[in-house]
Amino acid sequence: MKLYNTLTQKKETFIPIEKGKVRMYACGPTVYNYFHIGNARPFIVFDVLRRFLEYTGYEVTFIQNFTDVDDKIINRSHEEGITPKEVSEKYIHEYFVDADALGIHRASAHPKVSEHIPEIIDMIKTLEEKGLAYNIDGNVYYHVDQFKAYGKLSKQSIDDLKSGARIDINDEKKSPLDFALWKKKKAGEPYWESPWGQGRPGWHIECSAMSKKLLGETIDIHGGGQDLIFPHHENEIAQSEGSCGKPFANYWVHNGYINIDNEKMSKSKGNFFTVRDIAKTFDLEAVRMFLLMAHYRSPVNFSKALLQQAATALERLYTAKYQMVFLLEKAANNMVSEAEKLWIATLDQYKKAFIETMEDDINTADAISVIFELVRDLNSSLDEHSSKPALLAGQTIFRELTDVLGLAVKDKETNLDAEVAALIEQRQAARKAKDFKRSDEIRDELLAKGIVLEDTREGVKWKKA
């Protein structure tokens, strides 16, 4: 398997630190609001990377943090009239509501900043002892000039970064590039005791400390959105490698940006969409489909028209899935024919092609194309005369590949199935009795419930509108 490594700026063969095991960390949300479509992309990308690694036999320990100590959380607590802790707990809950709807699996652990203050303080003390951090009146800063490798991830030199940095005349830092490791307490803010007085962590230090505690000093894969390369991930490298003297991560993986109707997403332009907003109009599985139809490193243009196209493509997968379920329910216990045995043997080509595309830097766009080639084959090869072994073979390969991407994973609702089946039976009886008025009434009744009927040669089938 090859992954594009931001650090080396090329695709590299993935070789884990420990054979058969992968340690992976991806930056999670700052929990002060519902997450937006831009946040959703890395959450989905690294969920798929993890699924594929597990599919190919790796034991994956995947960590995604929650930033629950931050200026934005404090500001939101003032707006909502609740404590910062209540804000973060509220939006952690809401994160899981939306993440579940997007088909994102729980990480191995979701550590919080507030629960790792001792580890953060220990790392800052180590950096201070090594001359990489300094304290000014209770504010502790990282001394960037003392870490000579600074800029290696973003491919910028310290001098270039300094020349482009904004300088605040009231800034107490030694250099404009220096960043906060510990912030002195301010009125109305949460705080913890520390060797430098009461205060709270800066943003960047949390990931370094939590990754070290849960995954060790060097990890296999660190990921996030492209916007995190600088300064966040650059600062993480300075902290982690500065404190222990070892590489922080062997592979740095970053996804591309999302534009909205060909413009950069921003609240000022009114094109800022939270996932919760989108859920009012679309099933969020369509959002997952939309984001996976592009390569994760490519920029993506989001629009409702393109999202509708993704929803339509997703519907094709569900149609194929439910068609196989329908045929299996109706299938007789026929012996598998010689022609079917030959066809079953050809199905492995789709699995091989799928794995090849995914091993090429997680190319989900081409992997989805492989799945649609499989669907075309299933639609043309399977019908009401197919044997159960042939139908099961087709269903198995379909589920195997779609499960890796987290697509078409929902089953029809059992209760709804029974209700719809009863109405279909009544409609069939009305048609047989030439009571077409009643037949049409039942069709309209089902349509009002969001159920569309299809009269096919195999019988009446239904799907959600």
The verdict on whether residue 27 carries a ligand-binding annotation is yes
**What's the confidence (pLDDT) of residue 16?**
98
Q: What local confidence, expressed as pLDDT, does residue 267 receive? A: 66
Could you tell me the pTM of the whole model? 0.89
What lies within 8 Å, CB to CB, of 126 at 6+ separation is 243
267 a known binding residue? yes
Q: Return d(Cα 305, Cα 66) in angstroms, integer.
A: 33
Q: Indicate whether 397 and 447 sit together in one domain.
A: no
Judged against a pLDDT cut of 80, whether residue 214 lies above it is answered with: yes
By residue range, what is the domain housing residue 286? 2-301
In the predicted model, what is the mean pLDDT of residues 12-40? 97
Report pLDDT for 168. 67
pLDDT at residue number 182: 98
pLDDT tens profile 243-265:
999 999 999 999 999 999 888 77
Predicted local distance difference test score (pLDDT) of residue 232: 97
Last residue of a domain, one of 364, 379, 405: 405
Of 240, 273, 301, which residue is a domain's last? 301
Name the DSSP letter for residue 34. -
Q: Is residue 78 in some structural domain?
A: yes
Q: Give percent of the chain above pLDDT 90.
A: 81
pLDDT band at 75 (very low <50, low <70, confident <90, very high): very high
Query: Does the residue 429 lie in any domain?
Result: yes
Summarised one tens digit per residue, pLDDT across range 141-171 is 999 999 999 999 999 999 888 887 776 656 8
Q: What is the pLDDT of residue 19?
A: 98
pLDDT band, very low/low/confident/very high, at 418 (cuts 50, 70, 90): confident
**What is the pLDDT at residue 271?**
79
276 and 341 housed in the same domain: no
Indicate if 155 and 236 belong to the same structural domain.
Answer: yes
Cβ-Cβ contacts under 8 Å for 139 (sequence gap 6 or more) = 172, 180, 182, 183, 184, 196, 199
| Domains contained in the chain, number | 3
Percent with pLDDT over 70 in the chain: 97
- Residue 458 is predicted with a pLDDT of 65
222 marked among binding-site residues: no
125 annotated among ligand-binding-site residues: no
Asked whether residue 411 is domain-assigned, the answer is no
Q: Do residues 311 and 284 share a domain?
A: no
Give the pLDDT band of residue 460 (cuts 50, 70, 90).
confident
219-225/249-255 β-pairing:
parallel
| Confidence check: pLDDT of 463 > 80 | no
One domain for residues 250 and 195: yes
* pLDDT-derived band at 424, boundaries 50, 70, 90: confident
Q: Is 338 annotated as a binding residue?
A: no
What per-residue confidence (pLDDT) applies to 417? 66
Find out whether 255 and 227 touch, Cβ atoms under 8 Å.
no
Residues 6+ apart with CB under 8 A from 463: 315, 318, 319, 322, 451, 452, 454
CATH code of the domain covering residue 371: 1.20.120.640
